[in-house]
Amino acid sequence: MDQIVEYILSALLVFGGIFGIVGSFGLLKLPQTLQRLHAPTKATTLGVGSALIASMAYFWYFEGTLSWHELMITLFLFLTAPITANFIAKVQLHRAIDKQDLPPTGVGTEWATYDPEVQAVSPALLNDRDPG
């Protein structure tokens, strides 16, 4: 049984290493900013996450203790990587696209503004018919 667990942990570490290499290669070689953003956010999240899960599983199985540090780091990584990617993509849109090329917001103001006086526009469903 120990050998099967060691194979699973080794597979997780190799999986994490491959995703880390692919993510860093994509960061260096992809031509556009949004493409370069996609590579490290997805790949390194999976790479570092699988290495942390392998470490947590090792200590749980072989040492008999559950390491909460790795679990918290993994959760923090999975929660913050998409949010950071969203912020970077939004900055890229503001820097690279002219205001005239953006679609209308429906409230008469520009994108990424907050005005408490303006009422938000609710999304309209295409098949929103009253059955009665």
Segments making up each domain of the chain, as ranges? 2-101
Task: Output the pLDDT for position 9.
Answer: 94
Amino acid 92 reads: Q
Quote the pTM value.
0.64
Q: Which pair of tokens denotes residue 114?
A: 């907050």
- Give percent above pLDDT 90 in the chain: 18
**What is the three-class DSSP state of 130?**
coil
Contact in structure between 47 and 20 (CB atoms under 8 Å): yes
Burial 33-61 (b: 16+ CB within 10 A, else e): eeebbbbbbbbbbbbbbbbbbbbbbbeee
Q: Which pair of tokens denotes residue 111?
A: 């994108």
Is pLDDT of 127 > 60? no
Q: Which pair of tokens denotes residue 94?
A: 């503001």
Task: Output the pLDDT for position 30.
Answer: 85
pLDDT tens by residue, 82-113: 888 888 888 887 777 777 776 777 666 666 55
Contact in structure between 77 and 49 (CB atoms under 8 Å): yes
